[in-house]
Every structure is written in structure tokens, then in C-alpha cells.
Amino acid sequence: MLSAWKELLYECRTWIELKLPDNYHWEREWQNLGNHAWEIFWGSADSIELAMDDLERRKLSRSWTALNWIGESSSMTGADAIAFPDLGAETRNPNNRVWRDEKAAIERFYRRLGCFLENLPLDAEPEGTLVAKNEKISIGELVKRLIAIYSTGIAKKLNIPRLEEGFSDIYRRPENITESKKGRWTGWFMGDGDEVGKHLKNLAKVDNSDEEVKRFSSAMCSWGESFAINFRQELGRVIYAGGDDFLGVIYSEEKKDAVKPQVALDWLIKLPLEWEKHQQNITVSVGFIWAGHSVPQRDILQHCREAEKKAKSLGRNRVTIRVVFNSGQYIEWTCPWDYLKILSQYQDLDGKSNWTHIYTDLAHLEAKSAFNIDKRNFNQEFIFDFFDIYFPGEGQNLSDYDFAKHVIGFTDENEGNERIEKIIDWMRNLIKVGFQLCSNT
């Protein structure tokens, strides 16, 4: 595996140096990535349980990160060093470097790379279709990009099969946005089974542990395959489902109507029923992103990871819904699966599901600092009464400590005003997310 990785790096580096002649000072950085990027651990013992314990001990040695001694950051991770010809030059010194000169050299490299990939003269101005004009990426990110662009010939030379599907078929925006052709919102979901490692350890302790572990693995693999194959085609597609973790996108083809947010939400509410088909005793946490047409896909995937992590950090077995606007700003709300139905229980004073009423009321109350818990005359019962107006009975439910702890995910360490603040934030975020996904206006 390590030999194949180093061969891949070598082919990418030499391809760049051949296609874009320059004075390169970066071979050592590529070698470092070849030697340290992958860390492989294995555990062995006389039983599955002991072998997994041995594996956990070995994994504690994970500590290597790519060197970035100058301190600039790539546009994708924000932490890795930017790949360009002078990356490893001995003349680079944080004490006396001239960022203006390096910035020009970096921009020149990515402009020339973009031109070559778009079959333009190297001194032209690329459109940014394969390498965005503002992108400054690391060696690892550059390798992924070159392998994915099949026209480079690198993947073919290494006998890497071409991906059957990519992201290019997902229609999000027309080339020119007009009144008749507007950008489309899309839904992205990333999920992962909760505490699978712990579950496997428990299986390893029972009689017939070998068979139980095999049965569990087979059930999860079968579920992932079925989930991907049977996903409703008119709703979108599953990009991968590797067992207990999966990624998918909700969208419609260019010639069809855009998927309405309520349709995406209805599917999300039913996802736990789909998950339970594997009949294994594990729950799932999911990050769901409803993204505007101008949000870059790399940002969407990062939002997916963050939202899924948020769902796990607040108690697992729940979903974090994040609405990401074209500006890059977002709102999010986390809820256990068994309480997600609250979105469909909303009704205004006219008995209708017009979310504008509660959204407007929230704005007015916020403007008057009605939720300021530091005020002397603040009455926490007001919060639950307000919620009861639009979600009958649910405000009083949330006033119960154990119920609120389950729904909102706070801990016993959160006391008094801190706990009330978390309840207010949860209600506020519910209203804002609900207005974006459930409103008919």
C-alpha cells in the first residue's frame, strides 16, 4: 500500500514538473508526504476482544501532521502548506520572507495549472472550471485533484479505474442566472453509526463471538448496498454507503422541477425507519445540509462533517440540520430522531402552518431583548408559554428537566441560567430552520 502511494505521488509530481516547467524546490516535501501521510495499525491476540484492545493501544501513537513551518494555509483545510514550486526552497524564511513576492509566485503556478487543464496557452486566463481562481491547495489536495481529472492521464497510467459517477451531474445553478433560470438549493446528508467500535467489543465478549462479528458486518454491508441501490432516483442519489457510514445528495435533474425543502425534510424524518432495516442494535447520527446554489461543494462536504460531529457531541442518535446560505453564513438546529416530528406539529393562531408568524414574533422579541436571561424581571416560564402558542403542549414538555436534557443534549453540569440559555437557543434555532425548510411563503 505504501509503495503504491509513493508511486502515485511520484507520477503526480513528475507530471506537474513536465507539463509546467519551472525551477522546483519541493521534492523533499513530496517525500515527507509519501513517508508519513499513511499510518497503518493492526492488532493481534488470541481473541477478538484482546486483538481490538491491542489495536487501540497501537493507535495511541497517532501524532504526525504535515509540516507547515512557514505558516500559510491552503484554501481547503486552512492548515496545510500551499503547494507551489518554491514550497521547500532554502531561501524561504519566516523572518524575512516577502509575502507579496510569494503570493505572486503561487498565483502564477495555479494560473498556469488551470490553463493547462483547460487546454489554454499557459499565459492565458483560465475560467476556473477545474482549479478555482481563488484556490491555493496543499500537496495532498493537489494529488486528489489530478487523480480525479481523468484527462491528465495519471490515473490511467496507474491503472486506477475511472469513477462511474462524480458530482458533475448534480445540477445546482445555470451558467447565467436569470429570472427564469435561478440557482437551486440542494440537500446533502452524511451519517455514521454510533459507537460501532464499542458495539463490536461487546460482541467480542459473547459466546460465538467470531460468528456474531461476521453477522454484524454482513448485515451492515448489506444494508449499505441496499440503501444505495434503492434510494429514490427522483430524489437524488447515495454517493457512498460503506456499511454504517454514508453520504448522499438530494437534487433534481436540470429538466425537472427543483426539489422542495419540505420534500427533503419529509425524507429525513423517515430516515431512522430506513436505518433500522439492518436490525442491529446501533443508532445513527447524521448531518443534513440544505445549501444554496453558490456554496462550493468542498464547503458543503465540510459542513456535512461538522454537522455530523455536532449531532454526535450532543448525545448521538440525532440529526443536525444546517442551512447554508450563498453568503457562507448558516443556521443550524440539532434534534433527536424521536422528536424531529415537532417540525410538522407547528400551527399559528389561525390553525395554519404559516411559519412567518412565529418567525416575525421571534424577531420582535429578540429586538426587545425578551430572551435576555440576565434581566432582573426575566421569567423563564415566558419561554415555555411562548413555545406553547405555536407548538401546543411542547413548551411545557420542555420545562421538564429530563425531557429537555434528552431533546437538547445538555449535561447535568449545565445548571440554572446556562441550561435555560441552551433551551432558548434550541427553540430559536428550531424556528429559524423551520422557517427555511417548512415555510410555504
Q: Could you tell me which of 145, 139, 125 has the C-alpha nearest to residue 74?
A: 139
Contact 420, 435 (CB under 8 A): no
Task: Name 287's Cβ contacts closer than 8 Å, sequence gap at least 6.
Answer: 189, 190, 191, 303, 304, 305, 306, 307, 308, 309, 310, 311, 319, 320, 322
CA distance 290 to 323: 5
Selection from 307, 340, 331, 348 nearest residue 407 by Cα: 340
Per-residue pLDDT, 182: 79
d(CA 177, CA 105): 34
- pLDDT of res. 13: 97
Distance CA 361, CA 368 (A): 11
Task: For Cα atoms 71, 74, 76, give the angle at the middle one, nearest 5 degrees.
Answer: 140
pLDDT score at 5:
94
User: What's residue 89's pLDDT?
Assistant: 87
* Per-residue pLDDT, 37: 83
pLDDT for the residue numbered 75: 67
pLDDT computed for residue 131 by the predictor: 86
* pLDDT at residue 438, as a whole number: 94
Query: Coil, strand, or helix at residue 95?
Result: coil
CA–CA dist 390, 437 (Å, integer): 17
For residue 143, how many C-alpha atoms fall within 13 Å in the half-sphere facing its CB? 17
Averaged pLDDT, groups of 10, the chain, 441 residues long: 95 97 94 87 89 88 62 66 89 75 90 94 90 86 89 91 71 72 91 93 87 94 95 93 93 90 96 96 97 89 95 96 96 98 92 92 92 80 94 94 94 83 96 93 58
